[in-house]
Structure formats: structure tokens, C-alpha cells
Amino acid sequence: MKRILFIILLTTALASCTESKKNTECIDEKVDDIIAKMTLEEKIGQMVQLTSRWEMTGPAPAGEHMQGQLQAIKNGEVGSMLNVTGAEACFEAQKLAVENSRLKIPMIFGYDVMHGYQTMFPIPLAMSASWDTAVIRLASKIAAREASSAGLNWTFGPMVDISRDARWGRVMEGSGEDPYLGSVLAKAYIEGYQGNTLSSHESIAACAKHFAAYGFAIAGRDYNSVDISNNTLFNVVLPPFKACSDAGAATFMNSFNDLNGIPATANSFLLRDILKEKWEFKGFVVSDWGSIRELIDHGNAADKKEAALKAVIAGSDMDMEGDCYASSLKELVESGTVSETIIDDAVERILRVKFQLGLFDDPYKYCDTTREKAELLKAENLAASRDIARKSIVLLKNNNKLLPLKKSGQRIAVIGPLANDKDSPLGSWRAQAIRNSAVSLLEGVKAAVEDSSKITYALGANLTIGESRFHKMLQFNETDKSGFAEAITAAKNADVVLLAIGENCFQTAEGRSQVDIGLKGVQMELFRELYRANKNIVIVLMNGRPLVLNELDEKAPAILETWHLGSESGNAIADVLFGDYNPAGKLSMSFPRAVGQCPIYYNHLNTGRPSNTWGGVFWSHYTDEENSPLYPFGYGLSYTNFDYSPIKMSAKTMSSNGTIKASIDVKNTGNLDGEEIVQLYIQDVTASIVQPVRLLKAFNKIFLKAGETKTVEFTLSAKDLSFYSNDYKLILEPGTFNVFIGTNARDTQTSSFTVE
């Protein structure tokens, strides 16, 4: 009855919003009406986000801090909570705010739903290897459906940081090294999470993070400083964030790093000048966990009061677990140090998102336990997970056409520390995934083969010592080889060996940077022993970052990059191993030959000494390794082959406001049908600001039957050929442009034209 009465009263109070004033204008009127009634304490409360440290559905929490949190919610002094999960728990928490606070303003519930809620999809770096916006959109849509059924209405994703350094553990959360691909996929994430309208009970608010330049942490060390040029900031870092803003992302999140010596959380250039003014972003900005309080550790603020002052002036609207706004903003406003209009702007942004979500119409719309039970892990979600997983797999090597394998009459040895692992495939940042619920490689292979095939399993060696958990540092097995003998015997008695090695899923993600990105523990020793026993080895890599794989590339006849693929991992890998799906994934990050090359990326500058023109050592190179990556950006093989014709240009010149077309014929010269991702790159040969040797500007995923030829045509416009100046102005300069079209950033056909 209380709920019904609340809805009737609210509807009556806001009836002045006429039918003709829909959406934005209507919501703005409602927001203004509420702000006019709020006390300063209530306004500041909307800018506070707390994490749950107690059981929402159990007895009253114990402890002074927890009682204080409970009372703050009842007083209407908490705008949002994170880490409250489940429809029942979110209902109880929402009831505390709505039924006890003076203005009955509902809370918004946030959570890290990065690649699924309970049905797990491939980690984002893996999904980016699909180069498929439909894949990203579907995965995030299903994740939103599951999360919204469990009481949540806000995800702290997507992470759209561009990163070029595989040492950084958080590369697993992003879409790789390229700003164009990253922008296209960022838009798809927003569309998937938020749907056609935020008011749908199946949509959740997205949060573009981390704003900005977090992926450029020095030395790939998490939380480290960032020191980049405006050229890199404007042309590499910001484009995916701009794509999120243009797509209507409801929220943005600050990054932990400093930029130009100013922490991002207190960086008015980023938050006010670019995001809120130049891009006209209307949503709100939330800090990352404690990042306002961390202004003290940065050396940018003396105490929480000064940290609150700098963050709110800069444009940080909500304090996630920093206890700076709650403890200091009232005093800052009452003393006249901070204008209340700044507070009003932040609260207006937060309330607007709550109205867009429909929380004022029904605060409990996401708290349906019946829907929750029906939605989580349902069959169609798992089927989508399997299909998306196989589209994310990248074939790195396949000598002598070892793959695909036959389903019948084969003796297959499935070996390795990850071969029967049902947990690591779920990936890190796994939301509410059920532990050990993934389909293992061994299970997938057994389900795929016919009775005439014989499957033998051997562990070989453990990867880690003890239990692997998200909040613990991993210890790797460096000595125990007691399982080698059994594995060697299995290999000797097999026609082919499937060796599942790589990374435990908790080797990547936040706080998991590494100086050594090779295979840990005794994995390489296991490979060498098995290789002596049986040369027909297929390496099944499971990992969350690019790895150094030189020896494997030199010796192993076949390498399949399967990442951490989610709930249906084993089935998806089996689909590819046995040819039910022809792999079409392409790398979104370059794989280095040595960790000393990091950061390594395809779209580098040419330098003044790019090649060994005069002989000797005086050019830009290493004396002990090649400059090039082992596997370049955009790389990925198929079970068939594709031939590219020379490029055809529609003209030799293009006007500064015109367009030009580049086309190429692609032929499937193999015996199997397959998909190919045709990639177009450009180079601005001479520019006032030096430009990269290649820049991805378009791609097209095509399906070709065996023997079929298709013409792929791309249209380039002035926008595609422009770049941002150091004062953030988009400019196009006349001159020569090279065009590259091919199967990856290295292997391309070339042509050129002139912009007049």
C-alpha cells in the first residue's frame, strides 16, 4: 500500500508536465521541482555513493559504521550504492531510502558488469577480436537484462581505455590499441547496455571509463602516472570516450591517474572544458573507488576537505567511497568557498539519470525476484555466449593444416593446467558468475567427438599453488613436475595433443600488472617435454593479455588464441577445433616478440631514422630483437585462404569537402567457406603534426564461399582524413595520402591519392 500511495502522490505532483513536453524538457521540470525542495544535506547526499558492507536482507547491521550508513540512507543522504546484488537485496535497500527519507528519492544501484552478469561472455579484449559490433551489442544487452533482473540499474562499464602495453593488467577489460576500433565498439557497448531507452526495465545506465588516459600508465603499472602529449590525448585516448558521449552514455567515471600533473578526478580541463562543455555531456561523472580521497596521496590536496573542493570544482559529481563529499561539502558551501550552484548542477545531473531510468515512477521496477529467476543463465543467454565466444577466437598458426581436427577415429590427448579448468574461462571481473561453472576444454572436446575417437586427459602440472581468488596474489608452480610423466605417456599414445596453457584469469585485471608476460611456472617445460613426445601439438591459449610466444610460434604447428571465453568456453573452442566454426577473429592488440618492446603498437610514428639507410647501427631499432611484433594488430588466420587484388581508387584527387572510394576484390581461394575482416588503413604522408605510419579507418566483415570473390568498397571522407591539432581543433590538410587494404595492419595492398 505504501508503494502504491507513493506512486499516486508522485504522479499527481508532477502532472503539470504536459504530454507535449516529453523526455528532456519534462524531466528537467521534474528535476528542478525536486531540487527546489531539497536541503543542502539532501543535495550533498545525492552526490555520495557507498558500498554495501552488510546483508541487506538479514537483521539490522552491527557496528557503528554500518549503523551510520543505514541512518544516512534513511535520511536521504546516500544517492547510490554499489555491490548490492540480487532483486531482494536491492528491494530492501531501496525501501530504506524511499520509505524513510523526506523526499523519497530512490537510489541508483551500480556494479561492475563488464562481460556478463551471471552468464559470462568472453572478456572484453577477447570480444574486441571479433571486430563485430553485433557481438558487443548482444553481449552487453544480455548482461543488462540479467543485471536489471537482479536489481541493478547501472554498470561501471564499458572500459574504453586505449592501451598499447600488455604489461598493464587491465588490457583485458578494454578493446585494444586502436582508437577507431575502440570507438566503434564503445558505441556498441552503450547501445547494448542502454537499449533504445533507459526507461526500459531491461536497460541499465552505462558508464564510460576511465576518463582519461588510464591505459597509458607509465611502465604498464596500474595506478601509475601518465605523461602523454596533447597529440596522443586528442587523437588516441579521447575518440572512444567521445563515441560514448555521442551515443548517449548516461555516466562517465574518472581515472586514477594524473594528466599534465593534475589527477583526472580534479582535472577541470577534462571534466568541464572537454566533457561537459565541448561535448555537451548531460549525464554525471562518478569518481573511481576512493579517487577523490586519493588526491591527498597524489600530493594534490592536503586533506579530505581540499580534495572535495578540487574534485567538485573540476566537475566530479559523485564520490564513490571517498568520504570527502559527505564530510566536507556542507562546510565548503556554507563558508562560501563552493557555490551552491555547483552542487545543484551535480545533483541535477544525477537526478536526471534516475528519472531517465524510471526510478521515480517505480523505485522497485528492477526488484522482481520472479524475473530474476527466469532470466539468469537461461538457455538463449548461454547459446549467445557460445556463439560470441567462438567469434572471439583467433587462429595464430596452423602449419600443414593440422586444424581442423577430425571428430572420428582420433586419439586426442587433452593436457595442461587449464585443460579441465572450469573457473579461469569465466575471466576476471566476473560479476555474479557461479564459480567453476564454465564448460572446460576437456568437456567441450568430449561432447564434440564421436564414439570412435579416444580422449585421454592429463593435468601435466598445476599453474598456481593453492586457491586462486580475485583478491589474492597468485603463487605460481615453479617446481612441481610430478604430473609430467603421465602427460608424456598420453602424448606418445595420441594422434594429436591439445595443450591448454596460458594465464589464470586472475593474472589480469585491476592491480595485476606484470613485468614478465611470458608463460608462468613450468608451462614451457611441459611444452618442451610433450613436443619431444609428439610434434602434433595444438596450443590452446587461455589468457587475458598479449603474451610473448616466440618459442611456441617457432615450434608448435598450431596455436589457437582462445582468451578467457566465458560460460561456454569449452564448447566454443571445440566448435573451432573440429571445424564446426571457421575462425575469423583478428587481434586488437599487437603481440610483442619480447617484453622489452612494450609498449608496442602498429600506429606508431615514423621517426627521423626509420630504417637502416646508411648501414651501421644509427637508426631506430634494437640490437637484439626486431622492431616488429610477433603477431601484428588485425592479425588472424582462417581454415581457408583469401587473396587480395590491387586497390582501385575512384579518383586520383579528392576535394577537401568531398569523398573518394577505394575498392578491392577479395577471393576465397581455399576449399572451405569462411569470413574475412577486410581492413582499410591510411597514412597522411606530410602533415604539420607528424602522423602515424598507418591508421585504421574502416573495416568490413564479409562471408565468402569457397572459390567466391567479392568486391569490398570503402568511402573515405574529410573526417576520415582529419586529425586533431594540439589545441583540439579538427583539421584536414592538403597533400598525399596512402591507402592500405588487407588482412591485417602489416599485410596489405597499397595505393594513394591527393587531397586538394
Q: Do 420 and 514 meet the contact criterion of CB atoms below 8 Å apart? A: no
CB burial of 566-604 (b: ≥16 within 10 Å; e: otherwise) equals: bbbbbbbbbbbbbbebbbbbbbbbbbbbbbebbbbbbbe
Tell me the C-alpha distance between 558 and 714, whole Å: 33
Strands 674-684 and 735-742: antiparallel
Q: Which residue type, as a one-letter code, is found at position 354? A: K
Q: How many CB atoms lie within 10 A of CB 20?
A: 7
Residue 317 bears catalytic tag: no
Tell me the C-alpha distance between 451 and 444, whole Å: 14
* Phi, psi torsion values for 70, nearest 5 degrees: -60, -45
First to last CA, the chain: 71
Tell me the C-alpha distance between 177 and 590, whole Å: 8
Q: Which residues contact 587 (CB under 8 A, 6 or more apart)?
A: 129, 176, 394, 546, 561, 631, 632, 633, 634, 635, 636, 744
Q: Which residue type, as a one-letter code, is found at position 680? A: L
Tell me the C-alpha distance between 115 and 432, whole Å: 11
Which candidate, 422, 732, 420, 386, places its Cα nearest to that of 575?
Answer: 386
Tell me the C-alpha distance between 202 and 141, whole Å: 8
Supply angle C-alpha 571, 575, 578, rounded to 5.
125
Place of cell 551535480: 346
Which candidate, 4, 29, 9, 10, places its Cα nearest to that of 19?
Answer: 29
Strands 262-263 and 258-259: antiparallel
* Phi, psi torsion values for 575, nearest 5 degrees: -55, -40
Which candidate, 704, 703, 697, places its Cα nearest to that of 737?
Answer: 697
Which candidate, 452, 557, 445, 562, places its Cα nearest to that of 501?
Answer: 562
Residue 631, CA distances (Å) to 130, 307, 591, 615 in order: 16, 44, 5, 27
Which candidate, 571, 530, 350, 593, places its Cα nearest to that of 439?
Answer: 571
What DSSP character marks residue 200?
A: S
Place of cell 547459446: 383
Q: Do 96 and 2 meet the contact criterion of CB atoms below 8 Å apart? A: no
Place of cell 564446426: 580
**Annotated catalytic residue within 132, 165, 178, 288:** 288
Q: Do 659 and 691 meet the contact criterion of CB atoms below 8 Å apart? A: no
Q: Which residues contact 62 (CB under 8 A, 6 or more apart)?
A: none
Alpha helix (H) ranges present in 321-433? 325-334, 340-356, 369-375, 379-391
Residues that are catalytic: 288
